[in-house]
Copies of this chain bind each other. A is one copy, B any other.
Amino acid sequence: MLQMLANPAAQPAFPRVSSTTPEMRAVSLAGPLLPPRTVVFLEGLTRCPQYRVVDGCVATAQTLSDGRRQIIDLVGPGRLIGLGFGDQNRYSAETLGFTRLELVSDSMAQGERDQALSEMLARSQSLVMLLGRKTAPERVASALIDLSRQFGRPARDKRRGAITFHLYPTRGDLADWLGLTLETVSRCLTRLKKAALIDIRQGDLVTLLDPQQLAGIAAGDRSLSH
């Protein structure tokens, strides 16, 4: 799977989501449409070039020697991965769904690189606050809001600005992101469903039914019944 990335420069710059059948590229070996669970690069190995996520989702993660995993970020369309200093990757990156990447030149505009780094830093610091000081329901609510911003589109259902998005991470991925266990994430989602704040269909299609109240829970302003 890694070798699919060996020659990504063959693609023209900014091959933005075309309306032409994207599945055509999946079968073509030259196409940069990666299947789920493709490892883009590995922590500790020689540093790889930078990519922009065009479509899909990439998780960046670190792993402790005994196997404990922590997801650093979930990266959606438009954002960059592989940025950093030093001669080796500080984290691994893998796709969570069918994902299209685009190579970004190492000599990108300094201002763009600066802004991307600043944004990553801000997100990392938000995650620090989440992990250090938020309860499990607050973490799950925060995660859903973040994912809706990255992957969401207004839902058919227009009540109170409901938003729907495809949930790329599994319960286990969410747990590794939020510093929880798979079971705790599942229980929190169940409680959010029972409170009629969210809806999940087909396992991975999530609708935020009341983003405002969800944001209140994420910020710790209101709590969630059992």
Contacts and interface: CB of A to CB of B under 8 A. Distances in A.
Interface size class of A (residues with CB under 8 A): 35 or more
A226 interface: no
Interface string A82-93: 001110001100
Identical chains bound together, number: 2
Given A125-B91, A128-B124, A68 B118 contact: no
Nearest to A128: B127
Contacts of A90: 122, 125
Given A68-B133, A117-B114, A133-B68, A84 B122 contact: yes
Contacts of A91: 125
A125 B124 contact: yes
Contact of A86 (B65, B118, B124, B128): B118
Q: State the 3 A-B residue pairs at the shortest beta-carbon distance, nearest first.
A: A132-B179, A85-B118, A131-B131
